[in-house]
Structure 1
Amino acid sequence: MIELKTAAEIERMHVAGRFVAEVLSEVGRIADVGVNLMDLEHHARGMIERRGAESCYWDYSPSFGRGPFRNVICLAVNDAVLHGLPHDYTLRDGDVLTADLALGIDGWVADSARTIIVGTPAEEDLRIIRATEEALEAAIAVARPGKRLGDISAAIWAVARDYGYPVNTEFGGHGIGRTMHGEPHVSNKGKAGRGLKLRRGLTLALEPWFAATTDQIVYDPDGWTIRSADGSRTAHSEHTIAITEGDPLVLTRREGEHH
């Protein structure tokens, strides 16, 4: 069931979104060579507890996970991209780190992800991160009343094609509101003019993610962490948005973010 939100409900999601953005910015600030993933997990956990927010990941147990998930943030490194289970790993120079965070405040949820490079960046890693960011902005730009879900999917896919990156369709964006995952599913590949018509009050988490040379994925033994099947580097960019009468409202925009 797709639930359209009122302006007041969207503002409550925006409260959660601003805090998601704050936590992701802080995690990105402290992620550095020599920092352990569990240090980032515990730092995020402390921020969430102090704010009185609720992690959407803690005890999350969907059909695809080996779960329950017992962490508050997803952290994925290099060829890992989705549902990264924080573990005892110390970041190295040149690592690509994806942080994905969903949390609720007063019953309303927001979800966002970003990929950064720790230490010295390689141009090919900067390029794939840039591709996911551009795909996300292209998707947001078409998220207007009267457009269709396929227009969002097609916008993401067009950027991926321009960059030469294949697109996996098993995991993509989703509806969001009182819970983290809801209808509709938003594929990162599709045809313009197809699918559900976008309406004011629809809230979506849009999340293009690419691997450099494959659209196939494999799971780690932990049952959660998803990697590119060929070991190629990955990137993931996500924002929670609300459809309005005019420009879409980005509920998880980070302070200083240029896009």
Structure 2
Amino acid sequence: MKKYRGIYLKNDKEIGLMREANRLVSTILDMLGEAIRPGITTMSLEEAACKACEGYGVKPAFKGYHGFPFALCCSVNEEIVHGFPSEKRVLEEGDIVSIDMGVVYKGFFGDSARTYPVGNIAGSTQKLLDVTRESLMRGIEQALPGNSLYDISKAVQDHAESFGFGIVRRFVGHGIGRNLHEKPEVPNFVPSGLPGVQLRSGMVLAIEPMVTQGVHDIEILDDKWTAVTKDRKLSAHFEHTIAITADGPQILSLS
């Protein structure tokens, strides 16, 4: 595996394995999305995801990672990321739930996230979901050889902030491959005073904007994992794993 500035560049075979890892993640997220409705617990989603991983013969990527105890991050409403599935957390009409999931397939990682509405949601909440998803796609469009990494960051930030939303700074996207988190970090905002690395074919990135209805400041709950918005306003999270190629960005995390 070649390296460029400490970043692993993947060949076609490796990207193919990552495509399958991410396809399985997407397929499981499809299944979970169909199950989401008012009255279910977030633990039921965890159980369904673990069962699906067993069926596909893959390992949940997050379970045990730095001590994280679950296969899924289930983050409801003001929870941004790393929320714990729970038998006590019952989804209610009008909620939103962000599900972040990864698997390991033949030594390579897949990683993707989506935010789902629970039943009917407010128009302002739907706007948050739509803009977050659009911000992700705007970022992906900039994942071209020769561009700067921060062209991705700027596209995400500009779109989200043009609607008055906040961009979480504490958590960023990342390279991915044989490790869940590899170089480079992929911020969803443009850091001041830092040059962005030039993008090259063979880079595989997990791009994942986390967008809030209010301020971008966060707090970590007593479980030492769950991140929430400081003002307790809603947050949405969408993520795709993409490969940078001479023909443009390829989204690997599609069903």
TM-score (norm 1): 0.93
Q: Distance in 1 between matches of 2:60 and 2:23?
A: 15
Q: Which residue of 1 aligns with 2:83?
A: 84
Aligned equivalents of 1:33 and 1:248: distance in 2? Answer: 36
Matched, 1:26 2:31: yes
Which AA in structure 1 matches 2:230? Answer: A
Aligned to 1:153: 153
Q: 1:12-51 maps to which residues of 2 (within 5 A)?
A: 12-51=17-56
Who is 1:136 aligned against?
A: 136
Residue by residue over 1:64-94, the C-alpha shift from the partner in whole angstroms, topping out at 9 and shown as x without a partner, is xxxx112111101000021111112111111
How many residues align structurally? 248
Percent identity reads 35
How far does the alpha carbon of each residue in 1:213-237 deviate from its partner, in whole angstroms, 9 at most, with x for none? 1110011211111110111011001
Q: Distance in 1 between matches of 2:69 and 2:166?
A: 31
Q: Give the equivalent residue in structure 2 for 1:75.
A: 74
Q: Per the alignment, in what secondary structure is the counterpart of residue 102 of structure 1? A: strand
Question: By percentage of residues, which structure has more strand?
Answer: 2
SS in 1 for 2:22: helix
Superimposed CA distance per residue, residues 203-254 of structure 1 (whole angstroms, 9 cap, x where no aligned partner): 0000011111111001121111111011101100100000000121100024
Deviating 4+ runs (over 3 angstroms): 191-194
C-alpha displacement of 1:191: 6.8
Aligned to 1:65: none
Alignment of 1:166 onto 2:171: no
Structure 2 stretches lacking a partner, 5+ long: 1-5
Which amino acid is 2:175 matched to? G
Cα distance in 2 for residues equivalent to 1:194 and 1:165: 25
Aligned partners of 1:151 and 1:191 also within 8 Å: no
The residue that corresponds to 1:205 in the other structure is 206
Q: Once superposed, what is the RMSD of the aligned Cα atoms?
A: 1.3
Counterpart-to-counterpart distance in 2, 1:168 and 1:96: 17
Corresponding residue SS for 2:68: coil
